[in-house]
Every structure is written in structure tokens, then in C-alpha cells.
Amino acid sequence: MSADGLTGRHVVVSAGPTYEDIDPVRFLGNRSSGKMGFAIAAAAVRRGARVTLVAGPVALPTPGAGEGDLRRIDVRSAAQMHAAVFAAMPADVYIGAAAVADFTPQQVATGKIKKQPGEPGLTLQLVRTRDILADLAGHGLRPRVLVGFAAETHDMERYARGKLSDKRLDLIAANRVGMAGSGFESDDNALVVYGAGLECALGPAPKIELAGRLLDLVAQRLEDDSPASGMAETR
């Protein structure tokens, strides 16, 4: 195993938004650019990991093309992302950088929804999507390290730690949205990574640099978790 601890590991990364179709011409989406997830995939490939990148609808070139072992799977909806991530298992690490829709229309209209004369509004019935991270945490093939992301406007630590425990994650990378120089379309970001006994502020820095520092924490968790380190502790 190399010093960075990811050589030969299978790392699955989700990135970008999901689009939830309403009818053949409309969808519900969000402002995720996919840049953070693509930066993590690029950094993991450079460290010798075998990477599966499950990408929502983004306008980004495949990272690390020709540099290493990276397979990209393009999906559109939260349900497709859930299926693609599970199909990619088993893995050592799953990093959920995608902004997966929490709700999707109960039904997709087969024809374009037309406004009716005199109709004051339109009510869409939404249902919850399946949570990829939480489902992986409870799955027999749970990756050894599960990492989530939390984009918060306020009470960041409380909400991020809540997601860490509710979804039974190893690490959660939180960022404050709505601040200049960070967030969705930006090339820079600032994260605070929380875990059991861990609070680590990263950045502000370019997303590619943050990706490397996040992977340092992931590699550390893998190492802490390895049978060899367990033996060392009991000696």
C-alpha cells in the first residue's frame, strides 16, 4: 500500500445534480455543477484508485482521462443514480458529492402539461426519493468508508452532525452555501469535515486541492479500519 493509502482501492464518487422529470419538457433540478465530485474523482485516480464516477447531468469533461482507471456512468434521476451506485458495489469508499433530489414527482406526465384557462396555479405531488447513503450504510456490501456532503445556510455543524449520525456515515463534508467564493458553480470552496472525534476545516481553496485533503482523511479512516491497524492496537 502506498503512503496515500488509495492505490488499488475501489472508490465510487457521485457528482452533480439529479433531474426529476415532470413531463417530457420540464424537470426539477438544482444548481450543483458537479465540480467538487469531479475534482474528487480526478484526485483519487491520480492516487492510483480504481474510480467509478456516477455523474448526474453536468457539462464537464471526464476527469483524469487517460491517466488511470476511471469509469464514468452518466445518469439523470435520483432513482437512476441510486441504481448505478449500487451496481458499482462492492467498493472500499463511497463519496456522495452529488446533490441528489430529496423529492421527485409522484407521476411523470406522458404529455406536456398544458395550462388551463382560468386555472390559478398547479400543484405537483412529490414523493421522497430513496437515500443512497443511508441505504448503503444499511447494506451488506457497505463500503468501509462512507462520506456524505451537507450544504447548509445556517447551523452548519448541528445539521451536518445530524446527517452524519442519521445516515451512519464515517465522514461528512459540510459547506456553507450562499457565501461568495464557495459553493455550486465556483472553482473554490471551503469545507468543514466532521466525523467521530474529528472536526477539520479545509480551505478556502481550489476544489482540486480540497479534494486531495478530503482524500487524506478518507485514506486515514481506511488505515484506522484495516485489520493490520486493529492488530497493532491490541498488541
- Please give the residue ranges that form the binding site for ligand CTP (CB under 6 A): 14, 78, 96, 98, 100, 102, 129, 131-133, 148-151, 163
C-beta of 79 vs 109, nearer to ligand CTP: 79
CB of 192 to ligand CTP, least distance (A): 14
The torsion angles phi and psi of 15, rounded to 5 degrees, stand at -150, 155
Between CA 24 and CA 234 the distance in angstroms is: 60
Residue length, the chain? 235
C-beta of 47 vs 163, nearer to ligand CTP: 163
Q: Which residues are registered as beta bridge partners of 74?
A: 55
**Residue 102 contacts residue 128 (beta carbons within 8 Å):** yes
Between CA 91 and CA 68 the distance in angstroms is: 17
CB of 150 to ligand CTP, least distance (A): 6
CB of 162 to ligand CTP, least distance (A): 8
Between CA 72 and CA 188 the distance in angstroms is: 23
CB of 119 to ligand CTP, least distance (A): 30
C-beta of 51 vs 98, nearer to ligand CTP: 98
Q: Give whole-number Cα distances, 10 to 16, 51, 225, in Å.
A: 20, 6, 16
Helix axes 227-234, 207-225, angle to 10 degrees: 50
The torsion angles phi and psi of 217, rounded to 5 degrees, stand at -70, -40
C-beta of 90 vs 230, nearer to ligand CTP: 90
Task: Please identify which of the residues 30, 62, 80, 220 carries the catalytic annotation.
Answer: 30
Q: Specify whether 30 is catalytic.
A: yes
Q: Which of 183, 218, 186, 223 is nearest to 200 (CA)?
A: 218
Residues marked active site are found at: 30
